[in-house]
Structure 1
Amino acid sequence: MTQSNILFVGLDVHKESIEIALAEDGIGGEVRRFGSIAGTRDAFKKALRKLVAKGHSLHFCYEAGPTGYELYRYIISKGHVCTVVAPSLIPKKAGDKVKTDQRDAISLARLYRAGELTAVYVPNPEDEAVRDLTRARLDAVEMRTRAKQRLKSFLLRHDIRCPHSENWSEAHLRWLAEVKLPHAASQVTYQEYLNTMTEAAHREQRLMGEIEKYVKDWRLYPAVKALMALRGVRMVAASGIIAELGDLTRFEHPKQLMSFLGLTPSEHSSGERTKRGAITKTGNIYARKILVESAWSYRFNPKVSKEMQKRQEDIPLHIRDIAWKAQLRLTHRYKHLSKTKSSKNIVVVALARELAAFIWSIFRELDIKPEA
């Protein structure tokens, strides 16, 4: 087909409806509203048949959102082109204060034709399933953390203080089981808080077991195993990183990966004035959280522990060399930056940024073929 035969289709996708707009190829091509349909698959099939009947090569796009990637997979299965775009990177006019579904769909079609939209990485169904599992584990961790905070706040309100200095140690947990409140209603409330914390901890352990079971049969397990050579990156953390980032070969340089993770400093510069601020925090929040947690382990002196040595047994020597270089580099950086930075959190975030570069380097050493 010729280039002029392309029809760009912008979809503003919602749970209950899909607004469709069309942009004909070429600078002067017409941009118009096609119509609104229900958000069901059957409704989209009917609309697709009408669009196919026009005889154009169809190129679809829609924003990444809560409806996921099933629409993308359906469009691809029918032999059409589809792009899922990053909502935060869609160009917007500063003075445009009117937002409707129709205008959004028309804007998507026009910008897609102009090549101004940024595509997001779409995982295959198996990769997405593993990612859902690792995210469920992170949700359980967050739930447990919140349950602990509520429990501590409840005890503080009643002026009940633990005699043990270490929170959540075995002695602390035994003490929690023996706490008695003066009123029956308060005792029930306390027990519910305690049960919530315990259930969240059990859920986290169950999900960790499921991750280890399913990841070993995953196509990206070689990458997971290779990342486990790094300090602070065990099975669950490595699985979460790879599940979130997917094929790292799509990043030509580690700086692109750092930017994708939102670990690069923000900047507002004009003329001779240069001002850099906190990290951008754009991109994948889950992978960024795992990297920051892993980076805390580099505050200690370089060492290959017995547990780490066991993880590295079947890993090639050149991968282990990269992991050792990461230890030497990041532990030195922690000591150096700790002398100049007032906050350890800032230092650890800087280490997480550099850790991402070592992860990129390890992945590039693996013989993992990208999906067709």
Structure 2
Amino acid sequence: MNECAAARVVRVGVDLSKRVYQVHAVDRSGEVVFAKPMSPERFLAWCADLPVGCLVATEACGGAHHIARRMLAMGLDARLIAAHFVAPYRLAGKSGKNDANDAAAICEAASRPHMHFVPVKTTERQGQVALHRLREGYKEERSACINRIRGLLTEFGLVFPKRPETLRRVLIEVLEDGSNELPGLVRLALERAHAHWVELDAQLAWCDQQIDVHVRTDVRAKKALQLQGIGPITASAIIAGVGDFTQFRNARQFGAWLGLVPSQNSSGGKVSLGGITKRGDDYLRTLLIQGAKAAVMTANKRTDRLSRWLLQLKARAGWQKATVALANKNARVLWTIMTHGTTFDADYLPQIPAARQPKPPAAQLA
């Protein structure tokens, strides 16, 4: 593309892959100036010729934050869009999905005035998120290893309770017990599986140490840790995953972004609410709900106003709904704390606006 054509470009949509980037560039009137696949190296060189402030949009996928940081360093306006916001702008629909159509859809979606963009993560924030992803992987791998050991022992009539601590305690004794029918090869295999289990425990312990360091050194994570139902892992994940809380207009929008609000199927003025939407980051939502469950189950041990409300809600609606309600409340409180600089108070009593306060009887007015 020559310099004259590059100067006309005002918006670019890029469909990323490992080896080929599909580019779709338009001018101010929306006319296509350039549409072509290119290698990542050639794409970066091509971006150097774009005018400063040119909007370059891509889907929020693997490697997108790295590319966005490179674009920002060049003086370009890098934007990331969630994939489910791009799909409606693909003119060919589901049956016409290819790289060229995706790049055109990204370019069109980026032009919408009310489009929600994904904030570009810094390398530090992305490093913290990567640590949490590794920890989740180690946790899943450990569960698989334990289930594998348990399944192999069951094949030889050795059945134990489901708790990992119980299996860990008896496994060495079972391997050394010559009276059972375990073959020698299986004993060796189970010894290696047990060693793998121990290694995974060590990896998880290291991840937990790094998360504790993050929470101790981050002021916002310390604030998040004060809430009931939020521990070090949740506090670290929230701060690393969200970053700037001011990107949300209010606390309700933050709760909706996490998928903690009821889904709707309303029409004709009739409101019909269902289960929570489960949108947004599954990991953050799961941590908030798991922590809220622990807080709900131990609410009877506390006397603060929030715990009394939880007990009443649990008795009225059940512990499941109480858990989700507390997770949503924690999300809203987090937004308020992070944007207004306040601290958490379990006995906080909100002030009722004057317009909503009950009017005194007429006799008192006289």
Scaled by the length of structure 2, the TM-score of the pair is 0.80
Paired with 2:20 and 2:110, the residues of 1 have a C-alpha distance of 21
Q: Does 1:76 align with 2:72?
A: yes
Contact 2:89/2:105 (8 A) holds in 1: no
Post-superposition offset of 1:57: 4.7
How do residues 149-298 of structure 1 correspond to structure 2 at under 5 angstroms? 149-162=147-160, 167-169=163-165, 172-180=167-175, 182-217=182-217, 221-271=218-268, 274-298=271-295
Structure 1 residues 225 and 332, CA gap change in structure 2 (3 angstroms): farther
Paired with 1:78 and 1:226, the residues of 2 have a C-alpha distance of 36
Partner residue of 1:349 out of 324, 327, 338: 324
How do residues 318-329 of structure 1 correspond to structure 2 at under 5 angstroms? 325-329=305-309
Q: Which amino acid aligns with 1:67?
A: G
Q: Which amino acid aligns with 2:282?
A: I
How do residues 104-143 of structure 1 correspond to structure 2 at under 5 angstroms? 104-115=102-113, 117-143=115-141
Post-superposition offset of 1:216: 3.5
Structure 1 residues 270 and 232, CA gap change in structure 2 (3 angstroms): closer
Post-superposition offset of 1:73: 0.7
SS of the residue 1:119 aligns to: coil
Paired with 1:108 and 1:147, the residues of 2 have a C-alpha distance of 42
Deviates more, 1:14-23 or 1:105-114: 105-114
How many aligned positions are there?
A: 329
Post-superposition offset of 1:235: 2.2
Q: Does 1:47 align with 2:46?
A: yes
SS of the residue 1:69 aligns to: helix
Post-superposition offset of 1:62: 0.4
Post-superposition offset of 1:12: 0.8
Partner of residue 319, structure 1: none
Paired with 1:13 and 1:239, the residues of 2 have a C-alpha distance of 29
SS of the residue 2:62 aligns to: coil
Structure 1 residues 214 and 269, CA gap change in structure 2 (3 angstroms): closer
Structure 1 residues 20 and 172, CA gap change in structure 2 (3 angstroms): closer
Paired with 1:244 and 1:7, the residues of 2 have a C-alpha distance of 30
Partner of residue 317, structure 2: 337
Post-superposition offset of 1:100: 1.3
Paired with 1:348 and 1:282, the residues of 2 have a C-alpha distance of 17
Paired with 2:170 and 2:115, the residues of 1 have a C-alpha distance of 57
Paired with 1:241 and 1:7, the residues of 2 have a C-alpha distance of 35
Structure 1 residues 5 and 116, CA gap change in structure 2 (3 angstroms): farther
Contact 2:59/2:82 (8 A) holds in 1: yes
Paired with 2:135 and 2:250, the residues of 1 have a C-alpha distance of 30
Paired with 2:285 and 2:144, the residues of 1 have a C-alpha distance of 20
**For the aligned residues, what is the CA RMSD?**
2.8
Contact 1:261/1:287 (8 A) holds in 2: yes
Contact 1:134/1:240 (8 A) holds in 2: yes
Partner of residue 30, structure 1: 31
Paired with 1:136 and 1:352, the residues of 2 have a C-alpha distance of 24
Partner of residue 17, structure 1: 20
Identity over aligned residues, as a percent? 23
Deviates more, 1:270-279 or 1:295-304: 270-279
Q: Does 1:359 align with 2:334?
A: yes
Structure 1 residues 255 and 150, CA gap change in structure 2 (3 angstroms): farther
Offset from partner CA, 1:150-195 (integer Å, 9 cap, x none): 3333333332123xx67234x5522122113521222233333333
